[in-house]
Structure 1
Amino acid sequence: MFQPEQLSKLNDLESLVFDFIIKSPEKVQQMTIRDLASRVHVSTSTIVRLSTKLGFEGWADLKYYLKSQFREKTPEEQHYDNMLEFDLFLRRMNADTYQKRLNAAAQLIADADYTIFLGIGTSGSLSDYATKYFVNTGLRSFVISDPFQAVQVKGMGNIVAIILSVSGETTQVVNKELEFKSDGAKIISITNNEDCTVAKLADLQLSYNLVNEWSKMYPLGNLTTQLPVLAILEILSHKAIELNVKQEQAQEKKL
């Protein structure tokens, strides 16, 4: 439910609150933030910080997540718990802080001469889809389907590379990202968490923070839903082309 890298960031007071939440989730679901703060003898700001460190926008989002996780689930929900995670991601994505990141990424894309997509496996398929979607939107884009492929971006103008990776630790992807950076390209990463190598090397990172899901039949089969990635990519394309249209309209007015 919660990722180890998130829990490692908690201080002593936040860990105390988290311990109470884990041991008494049903009680916590009925509490206001002030009720919880009084019960565990901490400030409300401590609970807000805890919520943020766990990847939530605030206490309300954390409480919503607890209700969705601990209520009795329908057979459909039991069959695919990641749908609840995706619903939570959409709530986080609509928050002001995430929208600011999306807008900043869209501006990088709008200012670029070309957008390059890179990914391996499922992320490679999504990169191919993203390229088609961006081109259909009106943005000049292409995909690198082979991470070992040599790509010369110097002299191509302003380049933005969007790198897709669930783990953010695949060696070939990291090496290609370093190659892009050395050639002066701007990097936007889309990964499952912000503490991976790909995200740390990026100029701007977008993460979706879902619980990893693995195949029961094939241990190496990563089944973590990629619905957040599709949502991010499609939103970025629309935001970027809207910026381009506004820029063109502004230039026309000057003339």
Structure 2
Amino acid sequence: MFTQEEIASFNELETSLYNYIVKNREKVAYMRIRELAAETHMSTSTILRFCRKTGCEGFSEFKVRLKMHMEEKTTDLKNAQYTVSEFFERTLKGDIDERIKSAASLIDDADTVIFIGIGSSGILAEYGARYFSSLGKFSMYIKDPYFPVHSNLRNNSVTIALSVSGENNFTVTHLNQLKQEGSTIISITNHKHSTIAKISDVNISYYVTEEWFENANITTQIPVIYTLESMAREIYALNN
């Protein structure tokens, strides 16, 4: 609810008020301005100045925004069974198997496989590199944007990018660089209309409902695991 710029603009009194509100959201949302003034030992003018700094005309508007923010935090999470069935219903009825086979063929012909991603996608990128290596296709995982990829590794390489949104700046920048250096790009994203999907040679999209909780993207990663393991097993089959 409070931006970094707003918090930085608070003076000592306003910072104290901010701390009180953050710790007592449910209580403050239903208080009158004089009650809050008495509780925090501040004047009503200080509270009004605080409200204006947060973009509100007055305390009433501030309370409305506070209540809306609290309601956003009470989002119901879907159960695991629903997310799995959603993936199977939306995705597996399409051409995902054909795309997995196309991607596997490109990877099989490559000398180097590079996985990239950050956050939960980064964890799965590391998992993918280990899984591919376990089945005989040595792969590496990059999580440092300044990690040097030497020319002998970039030649005849495939880069596999993982991103739910397909818009992560780190991944987009890195992919653009690797693509210009000749690497074939394969991406696994939640939908095909993202930037990462569009700059990829092959995109595999899984189409599940994105979920957020307290600014964290908690969208299920089950489709990504399915896709990674399916590709790795397809590569193994091509070589055996």
TM-score interval, smaller chain: 0.5 to 0.7
TM-superposition CA deviations, 1:60-97 (whole Å, max 9, x none) = xxxxxxxxxxxxxxxxxx85345323223234544462
Partner of 1:227: 222
Q: Does the CA contact (< 8 Å) of 1:189 and 1:202 recur in 2?
A: yes
Partner of 2:98 in structure 1? 100
Contact 2:154 2:178 in 1 (8 A): no
CA distance in 1, matches of 2:146, 2:165: 19
* Structure-1 separation of matches of 2:169 and 2:205: 19
Map of 1:47-86 to 2, 5 A cutoff?
Answer: 80-81=78-79, 83-86=81-84
Is contact 1:154–1:183 with CA below 8 Å preserved after alignment?
A: no
Tell me the equivalent position of 1:205. 203
Total equivalences in the alignment: 165
The CA deviation at 1:151 is 2.0
Q: TM-score, normalised by structure 2?
A: 0.64
Q: Name the counterpart of 1:178.
A: 176
Check conservation: 2:112, 2:153, Cα contact below 8 A: no
Whole-Å Cα distance in 2 between the matches of residues 122 and 113 of structure 1? 27
Q: Return the match for 2:233 from 218, 227, 238.
A: 238
Pair 1:144–1:100, CA change in 2 (3 A): same
After TM superposition, the score normalised by the length of structure 1 is 0.61
Question: Using the alignment, how far apart are the partners of 1:155 and 1:170 within structure 2?
Answer: 24
- Cα distance in 2 for partners of 1:191, 1:198 equals 8
Secondary structure, in 3 states, of the residue corresponding to 2:159?
A: strand
CA contact (8 A) 1:164 1:190 kept: yes
Structure of higher CA gyration radius: 2
Letter in 2 for 1:241: Y
Decide which moves more: 141-150 or 126-135.
141-150
Mapping of 1:69-218 within 5 angstroms?
Answer: 80-81=78-79, 83-95=81-93, 97-153=95-151, 156-215=154-213, 218=214
Contact 1:165/1:190, CA 8 A, preserved across alignment: yes
- Structure 1, gaps ≥5 residues long: 1-77, 246-255
| Secondary structure of 1:149 counterpart | coil
One-letter identity of the residue aligned with 1:227: I
Cα distance between partner residues in 1 of 2:212 and 2:151 = 36
1:109-146 Cα distance to aligned partner (Å, 9 max, x none): 11111110000011111111111111101101000021
Contact kept, 8 Å, 1:93 with 1:99, in 2: the verdict is no
Partners of 1:96 and 1:122 lie apart in 2 by 26
